[in-house]
Structure 1
Amino acid sequence: MNLLWDGPGRLVNLAPRWLLGAAGAVVLALGILLVPRPLSSAAVLCLWAAVSLALTGVLDLLGRRRDAGSADRRAARASRPAWIGPAVSVASVLLGVAVVVLLRQTMAILPIVLVAALICWGLVRARAALHRSSSPTARVLAGSLGVSAIALGVVAAWWPDLALVLAGAAFAVRTVVGGITLVARAIAPGQRPRFPRRPAALRPVLRVIAAVLVVALAAGGLLGSLRLRSGTPELTDFYRTPASLPADPGVLIRSQRYTTDVPDGVTAWRILYTTTNADGSPAVASGIVAIPSAPGSGPHPVVAIAHGTIGIARNCAISLGGSALTEAAIPAMKQVFANGWTVVATDYTGQGAEGRYPYLVGQSEARSTLDAVRAARELTPLTRRTVVWGHSQGGHAALWTAKIAARYAPDVPITATAAFSPASDPYDLARKVLASGSSLSNIVTAYVAASYTRIYPDISLEQYQNPAASVLVDQAARRCASSPDILVSVLSLSAVSHDRPVFSADLGEGALADRLRQNLASGPFQGKVFIAQGTADEVIPISLQRRFVADRCAAGQPIYFREYPGRTHMGILAAGSPFPADLVGWTRQAFAGTAKASNCR
């Protein structure tokens, strides 16, 4: 039984010419419409398979009734139980109905079906290469096709979102070809296109060329995939949660020397410690503690760093990779250690350590930050002066740290907070980001929706995403923003940019909107607050930050706000930007008690 064409093919053979022409025109128009819309095309592919399954089953049943007395049918029934044929036909109809009813689940397993089809077809072709009755070049081509199909099946298993997009694109092209074929059959029934026969002497050469091209394509896909996958770090036993946990938050569970790209004169540890989730349940988090050997040998002030968006998967943890002690992770890093400040940088829960990652969930982000400082005190003497830094998502976490510190961790008083390009209002930001429709905005939205689904029981990711895009969203949420494999999500989501929206529901309504509003970093804040923003920020518009600062000032909360003309979201930290020097200078003044507290108007 041909899954896609058996049932419809039988109807085509019975249709009059005028109906063939009309059907061909419709199919051709549909194919042209689907070519730039691979996600919709994949959904239509599933529906087409459902229709074909149901039609094939129905036609088989009708055929059995019509031919029940034929000699062939009687011979077939004599060789097998009579119930098998009708049972298969009924199962075909039921499977077709199930595909339609469970379209979301069908879309989710479509890449698996594609992987299985490629590998099975590859095995069949590889077996054909063993037939000695074929010519040597034909066997080489069959073997090459078989091995290449198996390799492409492995690639599709590694990148199910890209496989889904390519399957949709291939079906769209096949639909265009099918429409043209139907129109041609209506115009000239019984005529088949004639192509000049290839000279017999060229056939072996062409087969070898085809084999080389196919193998090169498969090898390129396989090697490229291996390279993309090699950039993601793997979790180690250090991050394993112990069988029993201390009852109190902020307790150091274990530590391990961190030795990758550590600056001269700095000693660093990777730490695992206890904390609490937003709902008050116990949790574990990891992080980095870096201590300068100079100046001074006494207790050091603390710069607690809350990192920005890097993904929501466990293996995205900054402490796991080799970039924890670089300028990319610590702005003005050399000046930080030159001033004798100890760096305490949390991964938050769910990154590195087991747990639920709190992307833009203020309570959890802040608790991880405060408890990291508590745990660091068990490694080295620290003063009670702490300044919190955070960029983007980390800016949101930093503001929340200053908001809850007095209540949650009175033993970790916050001297000051510097939030640069902070995601201060997740609700307004979510609406703005989603409206852009870019692949990067869809990745960020996937992080938010997936994280909130795991943390808040009243939110379900399925409520907000396009069913056809479930595979793309799931894969984006599994990848780290700084890992090479994020390129696959960018490509997949870019390919569907002209298709139906990845998120079909309005994130500004319902339970998700309520939770986003709850995570507004509204203050009041402990200590002084410095908010910095580039006027050309393409991720968090300057208008949103101005409104947030104006609201805080109107509520009587002192904010020192500075704008950096022409600076983008990352450009505010780039070489040549005046902000890093301003940040270090303001922090030095904050530790001395002389930092400017407000420029509210």
Structure 2
Amino acid sequence: MRLSGLATLLAMAAPAAAQQGNLVSAEPVAQTLAGMQAWKIRYLSRDDRGVQQTLTGMVIAPREAVPRTARKVIAWTHGTWGTADQCTPSRSPRFFAATPALDAVRQGYVVVAPDYPGLGEPGPHPYLVGPVTGRSVIDAVKAARAIPGASAGGDYAVWGESQGGHAALWTGQMQAADGAGLRLVGVAAGAPPTDLAANLRGASNATYRAFLTAMTVDSWSQYHGVPLRIGRARTPGIIQRIARNCITVDKGPKLGTMLGILALRQDLAKVDLGSTPPWSSYAAANSTSPVSRVPVLFAQTQGDPLVAPAVTRAFARRMCSNRVRVKWIDLPGKDHATTAKQSATDTIAWIGQRFAGVQAPNDCGRF
């Protein structure tokens, strides 16, 4: 049966419409910070099995006339908000207050902030699963270019903290394979998990370590379809309950959550995911590479209780051995969640120099 002219055009357009990085929708946000405009976006990507998925995020741009030349883009990769759908950053009233990268919008940049797979759309959230997360960031940057009012160009940097630092490093790794049409100029990572096995065993705070382990194995169990067998008989049930909680830096955890974490501290005290199958294989596969085609910035507090500074330093030194130009920012104190906020001024300045084509500073041999 022959197709009509219109049907033929629609059939020809269908494959193009399904390409990853295509913008599905952009809904203007009514209330933003002064001088900014924003859109909640839905866009196409694919998972590490090649299955197409629709993802969500935010695009924020200066509220001013569209410039003659496209704006430079910073992809903000958020830290851990949680692995449950109700923890989706773009849905939260705290989004603007909790996104340090928005300081860059006041300097003329577009900020693209993906939610990551499984947050904002159906499906499990692949927590610390590198390839699919990195691809979701690249595709969000591509999608932002289709919003006329944003005037986002193809030159971008990626900046994230904690889980988002891991995502930023993986975005750099995925650029060559998935970043056609884009030019990545630099990667900024605040307190990033790098060697996941070492990170999961090296956190100095036992409570943080138990919570991180719970979210990680719950996510990997769902995403990879493997039984959640770890610790004692009671442990999987506690992990599943705790994993439904979102992270809030301005509120303490509920009593029930604290009791669950105390129980997990006992149950997981002698568990090493790096030597426990199948978790060890996932930890190895999703650890970051010390090879990079672009300069990399690291920022971390000297006493970070969740991501061990010694692990990050060892990874950064491996990058130096691979002739990557590394900028290292030592921050005071023992906090983890404010790494990006503390280093925002220096990080945005470093990103600006990458866009300007200035040779990146190199701290190798000094940290």
User: Which TM-score band (shorter chain)?
Assistant: 0.7 to 0.9
- Kindly tell me: are residues 247 and 485 of structure 1, through their superposed partners in 2, closer, same or farther at Cα, counting changes over 3 Å? farther
1:293-332 correspondence to structure 2 within 5 Å: 293-294=63-64, 297-298=67-68, 299-326=70-97, 328-331=98-101
Q: Is the 8 A contact 1:479 1:485 kept in 2?
A: no
1:392-471 correspondence to structure 2 within 5 Å: 392-433=162-203, 436-438=205-207, 440-457=208-225, 459-462=226-229, 464-471=230-237
Out of 240, 260, 272, which is 1:474 matched to? Answer: 240
| Partner SS for 1:467 | coil
Higher helix share: 1
2:305 counterpart residue number: 538
CA-CA distance at 1:419 after TM superposition: 0.6
| Partner SS for 1:303 | strand
- Kindly tell me: are residues 497 and 415 of structure 1, through their superposed partners in 2, closer, same or farther at Cα, counting changes over 3 Å? closer
What is the distance in 1 between the residues matched to 2:216 and 2:255? 19
- Kindly tell me: are residues 314 and 246 of structure 1, through their superposed partners in 2, closer, same or farther at Cα, counting changes over 3 Å? farther
| Structure 2: segments with no counterpart, 5+ residues | 1-14
CA-CA distance at 1:337 after TM superposition: 1.7
2:119 counterpart residue number: 351
What is the distance in 1 between the residues matched to 2:267 and 2:119? 29
One-letter code of the match for 2:245?
R
What is the distance in 1 between the residues matched to 2:329 and 2:216? 28
One-letter code of the match for 2:152?
L
1:528 counterpart residue number: 295
Deviations 1:181-211 (A, max 9, x none): xxxxxxxxxxxxxxxxxxxxxxxxxxxxxxx
One-letter code of the match for 1:517?
A
- Kindly tell me: are residues 291 and 272 of structure 1, through their superposed partners in 2, closer, same or farther at Cα, counting changes over 3 Å? same
Out of 342, 353, 356, which is 1:589 matched to? Answer: 353
- Kindly tell me: are residues 282 and 488 of structure 1, through their superposed partners in 2, closer, same or farther at Cα, counting changes over 3 Å? farther
Q: Is the 8 A contact 1:304 1:373 kept in 2?
A: yes
One-letter code of the match for 1:465?
G
Deviations 1:72-106 (A, max 9, x none): xxxxxxxxxxxxxxxxxxxxxxxxxxxxxxxxxxx
- Kindly tell me: are residues 461 and 494 of structure 1, through their superposed partners in 2, closer, same or farther at Cα, counting changes over 3 Å? closer
Out of 135, 157, 160, which is 1:387 matched to? Answer: 157
Q: Is the 8 A contact 1:285 1:349 kept in 2?
A: yes
Deviations 1:233-262 (A, max 9, x none): xxxxxxxxxxx99431111112212234x1
- Does residue 1:600 correspond to 2:364, yes or no? yes
| Partner SS for 2:221 | helix
What is the distance in 1 between the residues matched to 2:178 and 2:162? 23
1:566 counterpart residue number: 333
- Identity of paired residues, percent? 27
CA-CA distance at 1:297 after TM superposition: 2.1
Out of 264, 269, 292, which is 2:39 matched to? Answer: 269
Q: Is the 8 A contact 1:437 1:501 kept in 2?
A: no
Give the aligned CA root-mean-square deviation in angstroms. 2.4
Q: Which has the larger radius of gyration?
A: 1
One-letter code of the match for 1:346?
P
Higher strand share: 2
What is the distance in 2 between the residues matched to 1:372 and 1:489? 37
1:557 counterpart residue number: 324
- Kindly tell me: are residues 388 and 476 of structure 1, through their superposed partners in 2, closer, same or farther at Cα, counting changes over 3 Å? same
1:70-81 correspondence to structure 2 within 5 Å: none
**Matched length:** 346
Out of 516, 520, 524, which is 2:283 matched to? Answer: 516
Q: Is the 8 A contact 1:399 1:419 kept in 2?
A: yes
What is the distance in 2 between the residues matched to 1:598 and 1:477? 39
What is the distance in 1 between the residues matched to 2:339 and 2:199? 19
- Kindly tell me: are residues 522 and 259 of structure 1, through their superposed partners in 2, closer, same or farther at Cα, counting changes over 3 Å? same
What is the distance in 1 between the residues matched to 2:270 and 2:18? 43
Q: Is the 8 A contact 1:253 1:274 kept in 2?
A: yes
Higher relative contact order (CA 8 A, sep 6+): 2
One-letter code of the match for 2:167?
A
Q: Is the 8 A contact 2:290 2:318 kept in 1?
A: no
Out of 95, 112, 129, which is 1:361 matched to? Answer: 129
| Structure 1: segments with no counterpart, 5+ residues | 1-243
CA-CA distance at 1:569 after TM superposition: 1.3
Q: Which TM-score applies when normalising by structure 1?
A: 0.54
